[in-house]
Structure 1
Amino acid sequence: MIRHSRLSLPAAAILLACAAAQPAAAAGAAPAGSATVRTVSGLSPLPAGCGLPPGDGYTLNPNAEVLPVLARDPNRPWHLVTVFQQDRWNRYGSNGAVTAVSDDYGRTWQRSANLPAFSRCNGGTAANGGDYDVTTDHWVTVTPSGAAVAASFSLSRTGEVTAILVARSADGGRHWDAPVTLQRDDNPRFFNDRPTVTADPYRPGVVYAVWDRVDNQSTDTEENWVQPIYLAKSTDDGRTWTTSKVYDVPRNSGVIGTQLVPLADGTLLIGMHHETDTEAATQVIRSTDGGRTWSAPTLNVPAPFAVGVTIPDPDNSGDPVRNASLPLLAAQPGTQVVHAVWQSQAADGTFHVAYSRSTDGGRNWSGPARVDRTPSGSAAVPVVAVSQTGTVAVTYYDFRNNTPDPVTLPTDLWAVTCAKDCTQPGAWREQHIEGPFDARRVPATSAGRLVGDYSGLVSTGGNFVAVYGAATTDAANPVDIHSATFSG
């Protein structure tokens, strides 16, 4: 079955002032064709010794932050919220989650006054609903009212207890309420995984969360499992929720990486990765009745398996890069135009960024086009965003600057942008964002080095802002989350 499972902000440097009112239009601007990179780094803000001790194959990576996501206030584009994993384990997530906000288009960041109680290290208890060993797979959105809603996959260290939680912040990410449990299973037959949360920008008060939930009834002699989609909906700005299974799958198949995108006409789309025992596909499904019923896949493109297939190591060192990147969607505001990206695999085994576009609300899609500019080897962890005017940006890592030294793996972050004719690979322009940094210094997992399963990317008008993980040269502080602003 599928079942996958820094902007760290030091106390001394966190506090770069946040603007209380809208900043000047030039704030966060970058010269054409260049990226402005900000680093806000430091040691973990989690209480010392708060997590379980290493042992039984579990290794902690202190002061390592990974897998950031990013959201923008739909009515205040200068206001950004990010959430990321803090103190990553080699298996099943991290000790805690950290959230931070920017009020100047990502120029400066401030850690939240309190953190969402997604784990014990985040202040979770049985009383407040956050009594879990570890937390992972976070997502965040901002509603039209300015409230932030973050999601977590929280679990016991062994994965026998799994839950999907959401927490709400009425002030846009500065202070967080106690989490709400959307689904919890104590029976290891079930395994909740990989949530995303999306505020509907066209319907104030409506927020959706989607995730997959394994139901494994296999025996020693018979395989019998499914991994369908669950959806929770809030109509009161993320305060209360109703949960139901909304999309079933045939026996011995499942989906993961579900992301819901609302369109202006009320259509809802879910992008996802689907697998059986023998094949895998990138898919998109549609709902026109608020998520009660869903179409057959309208985008259905063969894809590499999401589990157990690592990024080919340029050095053949036996220390590969984890590959759990899954499809992502971005809809141009107020239109029926939707963009999809995912990792494709070439005949030589390398991975690349595949792109497709729909101009009719997800009914029909263009043929996949490769849009990364990686000259050799693989491009990894693609994410996508689109501006109000239709400029599309995609970021990804690659290893083109690798050296013959097998001990290191120089890695860079790149962006490609396109303003028109985006179904044509030649329409995309590449920019260097940051690097190289040594990917051999990022946390190791059972599936390879965790450069990222995803990162954050939003449009702030004329520019794009990315948040992403980058290794440092400080052994005591091995990974930071960086923020970069670049033009379209």
Structure 2
Amino acid sequence: MFSAAAALLAGAAAQPAGAEEETGSGHAVVRPVSGVSPLPADCGEPPIDGYVLNPNAEVLPTVATDPNRPWHLVTVYQQDRWNRYGSNGAVTAVSDDYGKTWRQSDNLPPFSRCNGGTAANGGDYEVTTDNWVTITPSGAAIAASLSLSRTGETTAILVSRSGDGGRTWDAPATLARDDNAQFFNDRPVVTADPYHPGVVYAVWDRVDATDAGWTQPVYLAKSTDDGRTWTTSKVYDFPDNSGVIGTQLVPLADGTLLIGMHHETDTTAATQVIRSTDGGATWSQPTLNVPAPFAVGVRIPDPDNSGDPIRNASLPLLAARPGTGVVSAVWQSQAADGTFHIDYAQSKDAGLTWSSPVRIDKTPVGSAAVPVVAASPNGTVAVTYYDFRNNTADPATLPTDVWAVTCKSNCTQPASWREQHIEGPFDARKVPLTSAGRLVGDYSGLVSVGRSAFTAVYGVATGDSANPVDIHSAIFTG
């Protein structure tokens, strides 16, 4: 496996069978990505009051595919999760068969001390979280991190570049850093522009708290040399006591840039999308603006009323059909009974106008959680999520499944979406407990890998207390 993966990374091996062929009958193909922690046994800080470590727990994966080699994937996920403010380290792995098998990177991006971060290389942080990954048209992988002190007084946005597609990683570049608890950088997302080789974007929000209130503006860093150097600026500001979280930038074929985000004030919330037609220098007012009845952090209702709820920090995500101005947006909505569901809207004019939102999850009872979206070149759209429809009467367990819905056309009609089972059930009461509930996931990974094929990367509880959560992958077709 080592030699085959190395040959593929060097471009010397033949293209593997297409992803549609990998799925066979179209049922999920699940392979473990990780197991026992690969971090050094003696790394990490000792526990302090209110902070609990979950050893060997892998959570919150994202995944990217090479735009010129769709079989080549890179995933990044958190390793050894604390109950607050992230994990001891981030782990990256590479696949050269659409996600059927994986190989851990030779070294890890130095986003924390447990990842090899030092004062000299720019990675001297106690924990890392909110990791994201993208692959540029040249085949370079760029990973992002919110790296911070364990109690959150220092926060920094870092990116690390891998010129060999995720096998080895360079010292990180610092896009932003604050050592004052008045400011909190949060939730970076990094995106390569597939239409402008060498251009890469990173976006995040920063909480700016003052005695008079708070704001949470959008920051953007741009690279024009394939992720080697960056310039950073604040690009979207807000009035006092308002702002956004969960920014994601998506480039379109006509040069338009979109940012999807969750907007909040002290009393309101909304799913929003803004546009730029000048490379990110200026941005429109929201073109999608859907009121939300909840703030980030409102917990998923526990089906058992056990007092052991599911954490809810899922945020809006976008996916564009390659080469077009057709864009899909998904986010969590909340029904009158308090349960959460998956809403969808589509734009056919590069984000200028949007269809009316429709619910697309097929969850028959209870909540659907953690939606992510991807779009294939032929226009198929896929969304994955977790739900608890197979829950039992035993309040000590919470059976949880991973599902996908796909749509080939007329996606603004709920009846156009077809559901398939990806994996489960597993017991969500065995995933890490955080200060905001059980961490099934704030997000997971999903990419298009063929005409109508997708690879999902997500966390599942193992039932093994010594290794409570693994990252799995599945290939499925729409």
- Contact 1:164/1:192 (CA < 8 Å) preserved in 2? yes
Task: Write the distance in 1 (CA, Å) between the matches of 2:172 and 2:293.
Answer: 35
Cα RMSD, aligned residues only: 1.1
Tell me how far 1:440 sits from its aligned partner. Answer: 0.3
Q: 2:401 is matched by which residue type in structure 1?
A: D
Task: Write the distance in 2 (CA, Å) between the matches of 1:372 and 1:327.
Answer: 15
- Contact 2:16/2:71 (CA < 8 Å) preserved in 1? no
- Contact 1:16/1:108 (CA < 8 Å) preserved in 2? no
Q: 1:181 is matched by which residue type in structure 2?
A: T
Tell me how far 1:40 sits from its aligned partner. Answer: 3.4
Task: Write the distance in 1 (CA, Å) between the matches of 2:466 and 2:57.
Answer: 9
Which residue, out of 15, 24, 33, partners 2:16?
24
Which residue, out of 137, 142, 163, partners 1:149?
142
Q: Are residue 412 (structure 1) and residue 401 (structure 2) matched?
A: yes
Q: Are residue 365 (structure 1) and residue 358 (structure 2) matched?
A: no
Task: Write the distance in 1 (CA, Å) between the matches of 2:15 and 2:171.
Answer: 31
Number of residue pairs matched by the alignment: 471
Which residue, out of 479, 483, 486, partners 2:469?
479
Q: Are residue 54 (structure 1) and residue 47 (structure 2) matched?
A: yes
- Contact 1:134/1:154 (CA < 8 Å) preserved in 2? yes
Task: Write the distance in 1 (CA, Å) between the matches of 2:223 and 2:49.
Answer: 40
Task: Write the distance in 2 (CA, Å) between the matches of 1:59 and 1:17.
Answer: 40
- Contact 1:22/1:78 (CA < 8 Å) preserved in 2? no
Q: 1:188 is matched by which residue type in structure 2?
A: A
Task: Write the distance in 2 (CA, Å) between the matches of 1:37 and 1:283.
Answer: 34
Task: Write the distance in 2 (CA, Å) between the matches of 1:298 and 1:387.
Answer: 24
Q: Please give the per-residue CA displacement for 1:267-304, whole angstroms capped at 9, x wherever unaligned.
A: 00000000000010000000000001000000000124
Structure 1 equivalent of residue 59 of structure 2 = 66
Task: Write the distance in 2 (CA, Å) between the matches of 1:35 and 1:258.
Answer: 30
Which residue, out of 425, 432, 441, partners 2:421?
432
Task: Write the distance in 1 (CA, Å) between the matches of 2:134 and 2:308.
Answer: 35
Tell me how far 1:16 sits from its aligned partner. Answer: 9.0
Structure 1 equivalent of residue 243 of structure 2 = 254
Task: Write the distance in 2 (CA, Å) between the matches of 1:224 and 1:239.
Answer: 37
**TM-score relative to the length of structure 2:** 0.97
Q: 2:392 is matched by which residue type in structure 1?
A: T
- Contact 1:139/1:197 (CA < 8 Å) preserved in 2? yes
- Contact 1:129/1:180 (CA < 8 Å) preserved in 2? yes
Structure 2 equivalent of residue 243 of structure 1 = 232
Residues 47-446 of structure 1: matches in 2 within 5 Å?
47-218=40-211, 223-446=212-435
Structure 1 equivalent of residue 446 of structure 2 = 457
SS for the counterpart of 2:22 is coil
Task: Write the distance in 2 (CA, Å) between the matches of 1:39 and 1:48.
Answer: 21
**TM-score relative to the length of structure 1:** 0.95
Structure 2 equivalent of residue 4 of structure 1 = none
Q: Are residue 44 (structure 1) and residue 43 (structure 2) matched?
A: no
SS for the counterpart of 1:121 is helix
Structure 2 equivalent of residue 10 of structure 1 = none
Q: 1:244 is matched by which residue type in structure 2?
A: S
* Structure 2 unmatched runs, 5+: none
Q: 2:456 is matched by which residue type in structure 1?
A: A
Task: Write the distance in 2 (CA, Å) between the matches of 1:304 and 1:477.
Answer: 37
SS for the counterpart of 2:114 is helix
Task: Write the distance in 2 (CA, Å) between the matches of 1:352 and 1:369.
Answer: 10
Q: Please give the per-residue CA displacement for 1:216-260, whole angstroms capped at 9, x wherever unaligned.
A: 112xxxx42100000000000000000000000111011000000
- Contact 1:65/1:88 (CA < 8 Å) preserved in 2? yes
Tell me how far 1:407 sits from its aligned partner. Answer: 0.4
- Contact 1:17/1:108 (CA < 8 Å) preserved in 2? no
- Contact 2:57/2:432 (CA < 8 Å) preserved in 1? yes
Q: Please give the per-residue CA displacement for 1:356-376, whole angstroms capped at 9, x wherever unaligned.
A: 000000000000000000000
Tell me how far 1:17 sits from its aligned partner. Answer: 4.5
Residues 432 and 46 of structure 1: is their aligned pair in 2 closer, same or farther, counting only changes over 3 Å? same
Task: Write the distance in 2 (CA, Å) between the matches of 1:431 and 1:55.
Answer: 43
Task: Write the distance in 2 (CA, Å) between the matches of 1:145 and 1:311.
Answer: 41
* Structure 1 unmatched runs, 5+: 1-13
Q: 2:128 is matched by which residue type in structure 1?
A: T
Task: Write the distance in 2 (CA, Å) between the matches of 1:347 and 1:307.
Answer: 17
Tell me how far 1:33 sits from its aligned partner. Answer: 4.2
Task: Write the distance in 1 (CA, Å) between the matches of 2:269 and 2:316.
Answer: 12
Q: Please give the per-residue CA displacement for 1:417-453, whole angstroms capped at 9, x wherever unaligned.
A: 0000100000000000000000000000111000000
